Amino acid sequence: MKNIVILISGSGSNMAAIVQAAQQRQWAQRFGVRIAAVVSNRPDAAGLEWAQAQGIEVSVLDHTAYASREDFDAALQALLDAYDPVLVVLAGFMRILSAGFVQHFAGRLINIHPSLLPAFGGLHTHQRAIDMGCQFAGATVHQVTAELDHGPILAQAVVPVLPGDTAERLAARVLSQEHRLYPTAIEGWLSRTRSA
């Protein structure tokens, strides 16, 4: 059985959507993979409790305990390598990863971003889309490269920006699409890598 490891920093709603999809769509039988662990850089991440209740191993690696980004990334890399992951999934993991870490997991590190990349990389995506008068927003699943919020796009979901939208209302609609998009994109990645 090959391992997928999910990294979170908060509530883990995308992580939960992925775990549920893995169970419902029988990833173990179809692709020979399992969600082996959920790792957070924040001890208070609410998603850890949910994952543990599903019988998934959880680990906390508090980034504030490390002197530098590189030190934290080295410890995280060592932790992940113990699982020999076929795929590392960033699901609301709010850390910019060092180039060395990204290179180590190149081709098996993916992220979801709440915009239609390449538009609106970085933070405050929903407010920026509204401020620019965009008619559409959305979410993007992409492979992670050393350049922030770049890398080959695996899947996107489009969400209309409605008249009078606030960043909060738009974010909630985008998030509901993320929960559908991310598991589907992972499934596509697993299908392609299995047949490659």
Catalytic-role residue among 63, 113, 142, 150: 113
Buried b (16+ CB within 10 A) or exposed e, 83-119: bebbbbbbbbbebebbeebbebbeebbbbbbbbbbeb
Spatial CA neighbour of 38 closest among 24, 17, 67: 17
Cβ contacts of residue 125 below 8 Å, gap of 6+? 113, 114, 115, 137
d(CA 87, CA 52): 20
**Positive or negative, the Cα torsion across 37, 38, 43, 48?**
negative
Q: Tell me the DSSP string of 112-170.
A: EESS-TTTT-SS-HHHHHHHTT-SEEEEEEEE--SSTT-S-EEEEEEEEPPTT--HHHH
Active site residue 142: no
Catalytic positions = 113
